[in-house]
């Protein structure tokens, strides 16, 4: 069994040589160039999260699976191809405001936070299914 997964396997359109390694048997986090492999992957992804968005995700208990991040990446590509700048993206009941040119999630809201919300300063919306 191959223990390495390249970014190209997870995200076929990505160009990167970063590899994911299985956790060590002793429970220690493996590292690539002194950083944990997960951190390295996050730094190489095409989808970034602002500090504000990271805080909101933690506060609201929102977690994304790798396949959801791939869907988000594809949605950003699609929005970019249409010339979108600031987009509301709905992903499994989570609302994300994304700055498309920077490929950065600006903020995130779970379904309970969406009630009676008005979204301003967006130029497009994408429903990810």
* Dihedral pair phi/psi, residue 8, rounded to 5°: -60, -30
* Stretch 28-57: mean pLDDT: 69
3-class DSSP assignment, residue 26: coil
More confident residue, 113 or 37: 113
Q: How far apart are CA 13 and CA 31, in angstroms?
A: 24
Say yes or no to pLDDT of 72 above 90.
Answer: yes
3-class DSSP assignment, residue 90: strand
Enumerate the domain spans of the chain.
1-45, 46-129
pLDDT at 2: 42
Task: Yes or no: say if 118 and 80 are a contact pair by the CB < 8 Å rule.
Answer: no
Say yes or no to pLDDT of 94 above 60.
Answer: yes
pLDDT at 18: 31
**Nearest of 49, 51, 126 to residue 87 by alpha carbon:** 126
Angle at 73 between CA 101 and CA 90, to 5 degrees: 90
pTM: 0.64
């Amino acid at each position: 069994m191959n223990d390495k997964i390249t970014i190209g396997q997870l995200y076929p359109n990505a160009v990167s040589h970063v590899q994911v390694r299985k956790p060590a048997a002793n429970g220690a986090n493996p590292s690539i160039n002194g950083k944990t492999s997960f951190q390295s992957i996050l730094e190489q992804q095409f989808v970034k999260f602002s500090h504000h968005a990271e805080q909101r995700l933690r506060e609201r208990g929102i977690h994304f699976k790798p396949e959801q991040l791939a869907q988000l990446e594809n949605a950003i590509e699609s929005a970019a191809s249409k010339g979108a700048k600031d987009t509301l993206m709905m992903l499994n009941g989570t609302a994300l405001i994304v700055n498309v040119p920077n490929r950065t999630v600006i903020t995130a809201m779970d379904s309970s936070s969406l009630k009676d919300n008005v979204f301003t300063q967006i130029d497009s919306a994408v429903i990810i299914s």
